[in-house]
């Protein structure tokens, strides 16, 4: 039977219609859910609706549209509301996407708490703030957690689920299942940790890039090439731990063979943490980037990046289908 719009039971609320709110809207509509989007700024809500329509149509033309519904069918699942309580009404899941500001998150979560139903799950897209910082004292706090996407979530599926100490385990399990169902790739942290998992790994990579650049060892372009034409190709399919496992006769053998060497490299070359990403070094890197990616070409380069991420995401899906 052909898929028809609205074939999923249940409605999802998106609070905040900026970059991330729009991505979540497309992800949930792509999976067949009815989506209602709220924004405090009515003009932004109108802009978001136009942008969603244009983006979905473009993705349909490019072959990047997710799910089995057409762009028009997916768009018919998305509605907007200028009232937070209307937006949340009858929703089983809320994805908050307002700017990363602690006081604002506290305010918005308190407002949502006041109108939430007993079993409604409320997740924040927060990149850095932990749920315990803005849900303490709320009546539905056991239904609240962080579900952190990675930009652009439509093409990078990882979602970090980070429960507060009071988040119900059953809620985490349900959000993980929902994320899998809509085609994202969730990971679950067992407790709150600043930076979650992705940024801790990302900052470790930036730290070494920064230190090597500062020491004059190689150019910014060559440092980045280590990732996009080296490690990154591998990491698009297997992570650092599986790399260890495959690069020897299992990870224990890897450690027998290489742990001492790796330890010595670190002892010899690593600088103490934390590393401050200082303006003086940043200016030197920017001078180098001015030759290839000047500031007025950033938007163009972002589109170039997103197109490649879209193609890689398509390739990964094809290869995973072949498993």
Ligand X SMILES: NC(=O)c1ccc[n+]([C@@H]2O[C@H](COP(=O)([O-])OP(=O)(O)OC[C@H]3O[C@@H](n4cnc5c(N)ncnc54)[C@H](O)[C@@H]3O)[C@@H](O)[C@H]2O)c1
Q: Is 170 near ligand X (CB under 6 A)?
A: no
Judged by beta carbon, residue 154 or residue 210, the one nearer ligand X is 154
DSSP 161-184: EEE-TTS-HHHHHHHHHHHHHTT-
Judged by beta carbon, residue 69 or residue 147, the one nearer ligand X is 147
Q: Which of 11, 12, 13, 17 binds ligand X (CB under 6 A)?
A: 17
Question: Which of the ranges 143-151, 167-175, 200-208, 307-315 carries the binding residues for ligand X, by CB under 6 A?
Answer: 143-151
Six token digits for residue 133 = 């910082």
For 127-139, b/e burial (b = at least 16 CB within 10 A) is bebbbbbbbeebe
Query: Interaction with ligand X in 99-128: which residues (CB under 6 A)?
Result: 99-100, 104, 108, 125-127
Q: Is 94 near ligand X (CB under 6 A)?
A: no
CA pair distance 2, 175, nearest whole angstrom: 27
Query: Token pair 């999976």 is at which residue?
Result: 31
Query: Interaction with ligand X in 239-258: which residues (CB under 6 A)?
Result: none
- 3-state secondary structure at position 37: strand
Q: Which of 14, 15, 29, 159 binds ligand X (CB under 6 A)?
A: 15
Q: Which of 31, 97, 182, 285 binds ligand X (CB under 6 A)?
A: 97
- H or E element in which residue 94 lies: strand 91-96
Question: Which of the ranges 75-83, 93-101, 250-258, 288-296 carries the binding residues for ligand X, by CB under 6 A?
Answer: 93-101
Judged by beta carbon, residue 16 or residue 30, the one nearer ligand X is 16
Query: Token pair 């994805």 is at which residue?
Result: 95
Q: What angle do CA 258, 240, 237 make, to 5 degrees?
A: 135
Six token digits for residue 229 = 């034409």
Q: Which of 5, 8, 18, 53 binds ligand X (CB under 6 A)?
A: 18
> Closest-CB residue for ligand X?
18
Question: Which of the ranges 94-102, 130-138, 221-229, 313-321 carries the binding residues for ligand X, by CB under 6 A?
Answer: 94-102
CA pair distance 71, 263, nearest whole angstrom: 52
**Least distance (Å) between residue 279 CB and ligand X:** 22
Query: Interaction with ligand X in 29-88: which residues (CB under 6 A)?
Result: 38-41, 44
Q: Is 207 near ligand X (CB under 6 A)?
A: no
Judged by beta carbon, residue 29 or residue 69, the one nearer ligand X is 29
- Separation in Å, CA 172 to CA 66, 154, 278: 24, 21, 38
Q: Which of 14, 20, 75, 116 binds ligand X (CB under 6 A)?
A: 20
Q: Is 260 near ligand X (CB under 6 A)?
A: no
R_g over Cα of the chain: 22
Is 90:115 a contact under the CB 8 Å cutoff? no
**Residues in binding contact with ligand X, number by CB under 6 A:** 24
- In DSSP terms, 147 is beta-bridged to 161
CA pair distance 313, 154, nearest whole angstrom: 9
Q: Is 21 near ligand X (CB under 6 A)?
A: yes
Judged by beta carbon, residue 32 or residue 153, the one nearer ligand X is 153
**Least distance (Å) between residue 306 CB and ligand X:** 12
Query: In which region does residue 265 sit, left (phi positive, over 0), alpha (psi from -120 to 50) or beta (all else)?
Result: alpha
Binding site for ligand X (CB under 6 A): 15-21, 38-41, 44, 97-100, 104, 108, 125-127, 148-149, 151
């Amino acid at each position: 039977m052909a898929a028809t719009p609205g074939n999923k039971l249940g409605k999802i609320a998106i609070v905040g219609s900026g970059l991330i709110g729009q991505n979540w809207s497309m992800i949930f509509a792509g999976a067949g859910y009815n989506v209602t989007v709220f924004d405090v700024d009515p003009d932004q809500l109108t802009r978001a609706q136009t942008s969603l329509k244009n983006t979905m149509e473009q993705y349909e033309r490019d072959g990047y549209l997710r799910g089995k519904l057409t762009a028009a069918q997916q768009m018919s699942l998305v509605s907007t509301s200028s009232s937070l309580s209307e937006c949340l009404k009858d929703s089983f899941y809320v994805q908050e996407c307002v700017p990363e500001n602690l006081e604002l998150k506290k305010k918005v979560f308190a407002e949502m708490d006041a109108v939430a139903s007993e079993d409604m799950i409320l997740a924040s897209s927060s990149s850095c703030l932990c749920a315990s910082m803005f849900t303490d004292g709320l009546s539905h706090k056991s239904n609240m957690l962080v579900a952190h996407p990675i930009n652009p979530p439509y093409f990078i599926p990882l979602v970090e689920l980070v429960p507060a100490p009071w988040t119900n385990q059953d809620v985490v399990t349900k959000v993980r299942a929902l994320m899998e169902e809509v085609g994202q790739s969730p990971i679950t942290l067992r407790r709150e940790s600043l930076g979650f998992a992705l940024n801790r790994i990302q900052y470790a990579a930036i730290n070494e890039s920064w230190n090597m650049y500062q020491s004059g060892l190689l150019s910014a372009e060559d440092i980045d090439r280590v990732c996009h034409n080296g490690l990154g190709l591998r990491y698009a399919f297997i992570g650092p731990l599986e790399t260890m496992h495959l690069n020897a006769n299992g990870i224990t053998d890897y450690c027998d063979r290489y742990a001492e060497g790796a330890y010595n490299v670190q002892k010899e070359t690593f600088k103490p943490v934390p590393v401050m990403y200082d303006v003086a070094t940043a200016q030197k890197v920017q001078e180098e980037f001015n030759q290839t990616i000047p500031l007025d070409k950033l938007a163009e380069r972002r589109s170039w990046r997103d197109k490649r991420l879209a193609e890689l995401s398509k390739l990964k899906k094809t290869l995973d289908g072949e498993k």
